[in-house]
Amino acid sequence: MLRIYGSAKSRAIRVLWMVGELGIPYEQKDWLPRSPETRTPEYQALNPNSRVPTIDDDGFVLSESMAINFYLAKKPESMAINFYLAKKPRSPLYPADPKHEALALQWSLWETDRLDRQIVNYVNHTVALPAPERKPAVAEAAWTEVVPALAVLETALAKSKWLAGPDFSIADLNVAAALYRALFIDLKPWPCLQSWLNACWERPSAKRARAMRE
C-alpha cells in the first residue's frame, strides 16, 4: 500500500491531487511541516531533509513532490504489468510522446526554480501569515521574481491550452498545484494563466485535495 507522509496543508497537496486523479489507493500520515513527527529518527531515515511530502510505496521511498508525481503518474502502467495484462494501458496523465514528456519535466523543474518558494513567500508575507509576522521586504523581493515567472506562463498558455501536449497532463497538475496560493491573488494581468489555473483546479480530484486543506 502506498503511504503518503504530509498534510494537504503542505506540498503534499500535489501528491494527493495526483493519487485522486489516478484512483491510486493510499494511506496518509497527515503531518504538518515542522511537526514533531517529521523530526524523529524514523522519519529522517525516510527523508533526511525532515520535509514533507515523502512516499513509501511498499518499501520504495521517495521525496521531492515533483519526482513523486512523475513516479505516481506512471503507476497505473506498473500496476497493470503486475496483473500480466497483455496490453499495457497508458497512464492518462503521463505524456506518451517523448517531446511532451520532456516538456512536462521542463515545466516541473522550471516551476521549482522560478516560482515554488517565491509564490509561497509572497502570499505568506502579504496575507497568509499573522500580520506581525509578515515581512514586507520578503514579499517585495518575492514579487519581483513572481511577476516575470507568471508572464512566462501567460505567454506559453496564450499559445497552447495545456503545458505539455494536447491534453491536461502531469505538467499542468504539477505547476497548477504549486500555484495553489496564486488562487488567492489577482491574476487579471495574466488572463490565459487565470483561466488555465481555474480549469485545473476545477477538476474533481483537485477540488477534493483542496477540501482536505481548507
Ligand X SMILES: N[C@@H](CCC(=O)N[C@@H](CS)C(=O)NCC(=O)O)C(=O)O
| Interface residues toward ligand X, by CB under 6 A | 10-11, 33-34, 50-53, 64-66
Q: Looking at the DSSP assignment, which residues form a beta bridge with residue 2?
A: 26, 57
Q: Of 109 and 147, which CB lies nearer to ligand X in the complex structure?
A: 109
46 versus 192: smaller Cβ distance to ligand X? 46
29 versus 51: smaller Cβ distance to ligand X: 51
CB-nearest residue to ligand X: 51
Cell 521511498, residue? Answer: 61
**Least distance from C-beta 62 to ligand X, angstroms?**
10
CB of 128 to ligand X, least distance (A): 13
Q: Convert 131-165 to b/e letters by CB count within 10 Å (16 or more is b).
A: eeeeeeeebeebbebbeebbeebbebbeeeebbbb
Shortest gap between Cβ of 164 and ligand X (angstroms)? 19
Instruction: Measure Cα distances from 99 to 21, 106, 144 in Å.
Output: 23, 10, 31
Assess contact for 93 and 200: CB atoms under 8 A: no
What is the C-alpha R_g of the chain? 18
Q: Residue 14 or 100: which CB sits closer to ligand X?
A: 14
CB of 166 to ligand X, least distance (A): 27
